[in-house]
Homo-oligomer: A and B are copies of this chain.
């Protein structure tokens, strides 16, 4: 399990970024290593390659499974658990995206929904309520939009992402077709 200097750099960087993406350094490194390594790896190999404890690897694998980013394999005649990343790079990106939505958006939507049930007691309260409503509307729309995106076929998603400023043209066309009012701006 010696890593090329390329792989080394890749793994270390994903460790650094890990915390910005929602997991800790070693989980980031484990994920990167499983991504860049051509064959399944077992816990011992991960621990050795990343120079971390066996226990830490176990916890990291559990976390990556909770993220649905890795899957378990077995080699004939070997009792060890081997792991690979779950699907293509695109599949993985989609999964990270969905899991992050779940962790970063859903709890807030849920709380704001709760808050909006309360009747405002006074004027100040009513003003706050209004702001809460605004935030809620935006986040709800974002939730629906990201949900739509993550349900798109790979092909369609690709097309959409490649549109660039062509998006505006397409939207304008849509307005015309459905008879919506044109915007002057």
Residues of A bordering B, CB below 8 Å? 4, 6-7, 9-10, 13, 17, 20-22, 35-36, 38, 89-90, 93, 103-104, 107-108, 111-112, 115, 118, 120-122, 124-125, 127-129, 131-132, 134-135, 138, 141-142, 144-145, 148, 151-153, 155-156, 158-168, 170-171, 173-175, 183, 185
Contacts and interface: CB of A to CB of B under 8 A. Distances in A.
A134 to B, nearest CB: 5
Contacts of A107: 13, 17
B171 A36 contact: no
B6 A115 contact: yes
Contact of A104 (B20, B129, B167): B20
Do most interface residues of chain A lie in helix, strand or loop, or is the interface mixed?
A: helix
Given A138-B90, A142-B161, A159-B174, A35 B167 contact: no
B4 A121 contact: yes
